[in-house]
Amino acid sequence: MTSGSVIKGKLGQVNAKASALRIVLVQVARLRESRVAMIGAGLVLFWIIVALLAPLIAPFPPNATIQPLAKPGTLASNGHIFWLGTDHLGRDVLSRIIWGARTVLVYAPIATGSAFALGIPMGLFAGYKSGWIDEILSRTSDLVLAFPTLVLYIVLIVKFGASGLNIVLAVTIASSPAIMRITRGLVIDLRTRGYIYAAQLRGESAWYVMLVEILPNARGPLIVDACLRLGYVTMTIGTLGFLGLGLPPPDADWGGMINEARQFAIVFPHIVVFPCLAVSSLVLGFNLLADGVREISLRE
Amino acid sequence: MRFNGHGTQIVFSQCTRASRTDDRNPTATLCWLRRAEVALGAMIRFIGRRVAFMLATMLVASVLLFVLFELSSADVAVSALGPYSTAEQRLLWQTQNGYDLPALARYFEWLARFVTGDWRVSRSFNAPVASVVLSHLVNTGILAFWVFVFLVPLSLLLGVLAGMREGSALDRVISTASILLASVPPFASTVLVSAIFVFGLGWLPGTSSMIDGFSWRELVMPVIVLVAYDLGYVARITRASMAEVMTTPYVRTAILKGLPRSRVIWRHALRNALITPVTVLLLHVNWLITGVIVVEFFFAYKGFGSLILQAAMSQDLFLLEACTIVTVAIAVASQTIADLAYMYLNPKIRFR
């Protein structure tokens, strides 16, 4: 059973009348069916709120150098407490983690979104048109997927430089072939359905059939993949920052925080441990969300 | 013999009825041999196709690398001579090394050099690229060997234990632990494991540069981190595969027949449940490379992963090109082996 029918089945009549917003709300409300999904959504939501409220809740400015290498819980001169200590340059670790949530929650969705924006049309084309278009797109994606991902990122970033835009581009190049493959598989499955033939006989254009008839019915697995991929891109952005290939300093970035303070880790582990916990919890949130959504769609 | 190609049944229709154990029927034996021969041919064709794909991938990778790094001959001169060379030195180097030729001619010359194993000299090591790559590959090989020695039994055992009884307490504990492990990025597990054993308890050294020769103590941390990095994922795959096999009719039949549970698991379930995880383990070489780069970087282990990073950081183009081609070769070769292993292990899939 495809999870496209999840949406078609029970909610079919509701969907026909309800507005687009209503559909989204109904879908989101269904997350309550899975505890795993709720925990995942909670973790992700927590970080989204932290990122949105960063200027209000961060006790210190993220790049202000105040008091170097303070242990967690040290009292600052202005009466605030360095809850998670400060780094080697005297910047408050907690504030940098809070602001770092902004960085990752801006770049991860943008990078994932652009990978999907490229991968989905390619997959639709390859699956729907088949023939030589499919052959070319599939072979190209095989080639890109044969590259070890991090090596591909390193090569691209060495050539084009480390910047937010280049990270987005590198993630798009490396992940869109995988998204294309998933979409293509779904399209090939859906292509032979009755309602597709009906649309073709009505004389609808190929674009209409792909975007209006096929894509909405393929969204289940794509949403699951998007959640997983968001987690994976979060990991990637962190890894690049950790290797010193990420966003240029001084802006707070979880991976970069670890890279900068590596030499101090043995004596002052708090500088590196907390950013690690932050990134792991966000990735865990995305992974649990993906697991939960998959569970819900399989239950139908 | 597993490769008894199904497609041949139509061609040798008279063969299908004769059992291969039927010794009295010489036609049957002959037919069976013929079928084996056809299957072997199919296998060779399959391997040939995979090798062709591997070569094509590497060729495309070479074009990509050339376009990225070698198209501008001025950049190459800077990379070969270092950023402090003068303009005259660079021009001289370009003419001496054939970098004044048109790009297409240079590409074929570059490719020919690569194929013949002349990988030129690394600027940062001041040594032939080939020997640098080889010595670092050996170090990573040692690391990868010990990772697999621990990873394979541990992940398969945990996955099978969890998948044996879906929904049991043991399953829930192992499943939760493995999704937690799978969610920790490699750099975070490096730091967190170090925080316990190096910063906290002080049991193990925080660097594995092995300056004073090979040291077992320095190998422990990289191995722990890489095993932790991959354990969650492989255990999850194994669990899913085992849980699926446990619901199949033939396992249910075996249980209902009254066989002891251990026998059902050992004799019936395991063989099919382990097909996917074994393949995934091989496919995972690609995934493991990320972990290897991160771990070797953090522990300053002189392996292939840290070599790629060093080449990238110091803009040592010849070294970076060689490393990239070698990684792609490793990745594609492991994918090919995984495909072959899958087909060998799974008699349902035959060579076409």
Number of Cβ atoms within 10 Å of the Cβ of A25: 12
Q: Does B181 score more than 90 pLDDT?
A: no
User: Residue B24: which pLDDT band, with cuts at 50, 70 and 90?
Assistant: low
Question: To 5 degrees, how large is the angle CA A253–CA A254–CA A257?
Answer: 85
| CA distance, residue A148 to nearest chain B CA (Å) | 5
A291 in contact with B, Cβ within 8 Å: yes
Residue A121 is predicted with a pLDDT of 92
Q: Given an 8 Å threshold on Cβ–Cβ distance, is B184 in contact with A155?
A: no
Q: Does B180 score more than 90 pLDDT?
A: no
Q: Token match 């039994």: residue?
A: B153
Beta-strand pair B127-128/B121-122? antiparallel
Residue B283 is predicted with a pLDDT of 75
Residue A6 is predicted with a pLDDT of 45
Q: Residue A218's closest CA among A127, A146, A112?
A: A127
From CA B19, how far away is CA B4, in angstroms rounded? 13
Chain A environment of B198 (Cβ under 8 Å) = 266
Can you list the residues of chain A whose pLDDT is less than 70? 1-19, 300
Q: Does B9 score more than 50 pLDDT?
A: no
CA atoms lying within 13 Å on the CB side of residue A182: 21
Q: Which of B11-15, B145-149, B289-293 has the lowest mean pLDDT?
A: B11-15
- What phi and psi, each to the nearest 5 degrees, are found at residue A66? -110, -60
Q: Given an 8 Å threshold on Cβ–Cβ distance, is B192 in contact with A238?
A: no
Number of Cβ atoms within 10 Å of the Cβ of A64: 13
Taking only the tens place, the pLDDT of each residue in B257-279 is 888 888 888 888 887 888 888 87
From CA A48, how far away is CA A230, in angstroms rounded? 13
Hey, what are A157's tokens? 């970033």
Helix axes B186-194, A270-299, angle to 10 degrees: 130
Give Dmax over CA atoms of chain A in angstroms: 75
Q: Token match 């522990």: residue?
A: B299
Average pLDDT for B158-169: 85
Q: Is B114 left (phi over 0), alpha (psi -120 to 50) or beta?
A: alpha
Residue B2 is predicted with a pLDDT of 37
User: Is the CB of residue B133 less than 8 Å from the CB of residue B212?
Assistant: no
> DSSP for A164-204?
HHHHHHHHHHHHHHHHHHHHHHHHHHHTTSHHHHHHHHTT-
Average pLDDT for B182-211: 79
DSSP β-bridge partners for residue A81: A75
Residue A116 is predicted with a pLDDT of 94
B121 sits in which H/E element: strand B121-122
Chain A environment of B331 (Cβ under 8 Å) = 146-148
Three-state DSSP at B339 gives helix
Q: Which residue has the higher pLDDT, A212 or B23?
A: A212
Q: Residue A89's closest CA among A231, A263, A216, A210?
A: A263
B64 sits in which H/E element: helix B26-65
Taking only the tens place, the pLDDT of each residue in B27-52 is 666 666 777 777 777 778 878 888 88
The ipTM, to two decimals, is 0.79
Q: List b or e across B43-74, with b for residues whose CB sees 16 or more CB atoms inside 10 angstroms.
A: beebeeebeebbeebbebbbebbbebbbeebe
Cα B332 to the center of its chain, rounded Å: 8
Chain A environment of B290 (Cβ under 8 Å) = 148-150, 239
Chain B environment of A234 (Cβ under 8 Å) = 185
Residue B331 is predicted with a pLDDT of 84
User: Is the CB of residue B337 less than 8 Å from the CB of residue B282?
Assistant: yes
From CA B241, how far away is CA B269, in angstroms rounded? 10
Residues belonging to chain B with any Cβ–Cβ distance to chain A shorter than 8 Å: 53, 56-57, 60-61, 65, 68-69, 179-180, 182-188, 191-192, 194-195, 198-200, 206, 286, 289-290, 293-294, 297-298, 308-309, 312-313, 315, 320, 323-324, 327-328, 331-332, 335
CA atoms lying within 13 Å on the CB side of residue B282: 16
Taking only the tens place, the pLDDT of each residue in A107-129 is 999 999 999 999 999 999 898 88
Most confident of A22-36, A114-128, B126-140, B330-344: A114-128
Q: Given an 8 Å threshold on Cβ–Cβ distance, is B57 in contact with A142?
A: yes
Q: Token match 């079919």: residue?
A: A12
Q: How many domains would you assign to chain A?
A: 1
User: Cα Rg for chain A, rounded, in angstroms?
Assistant: 22
Q: Given an 8 Å threshold on Cβ–Cβ distance, is A159 in contact with B69?
A: yes
From CA B226, how far away is CA B303, in angstroms rounded? 14
User: Is the CB of residue A254 less than 8 Å from the CB of residue A100?
Assistant: yes
Residue type, A244: G
Cα B110 to the center of its chain, rounded Å: 27
From CA B283, how far away is CA B338, in angstroms rounded? 6
Torsion of CA A178, A183, A186, A187, to 10 degrees: -140
From CA A29, how far away is CA A216, in angstroms rounded? 19
User: Is the CB of residue B145 less than 8 Å from the CB of residue B153?
Assistant: no
Residue ranges making up the domain that contains A293: 3-298
Burial (0-12, 13-18, 19+ Cβ within 10 Å), B10: exposed
Chain A residue with Cα closest to B293: A150
From CA B148, how far away is CA B230, in angstroms rounded? 10
Torsion of CA B254, B256, B259, B261, to 10 degrees: 90
Contacts of residue B186, Cβ cutoff 8 Å, sequence gap at least 6: A235, A239, B225, B229, B290, B291, B294, B295
Q: Given an 8 Å threshold on Cβ–Cβ distance, is A280 in contact with B289?
A: no
From CA B40, how far away is CA B35, in angstroms rounded? 9
Q: Does B4 score more than 50 pLDDT?
A: no
Q: How far is CA A60 from CA A44, A54, A78, A98, A99, in A?
A: 23, 10, 10, 10, 10
Q: What is the CATH number of the domain that holds A95?
A: 1.10.3720.10
List the end-to-end C-alpha distance of chain B, in Å, as a whole number: 16
Q: Given an 8 Å threshold on Cβ–Cβ distance, is A283 in contact with B56?
A: no
User: Cα Rg for chain B, rounded, in angstroms?
Assistant: 26
Count of A-B CB contacts under 8 Å: 116
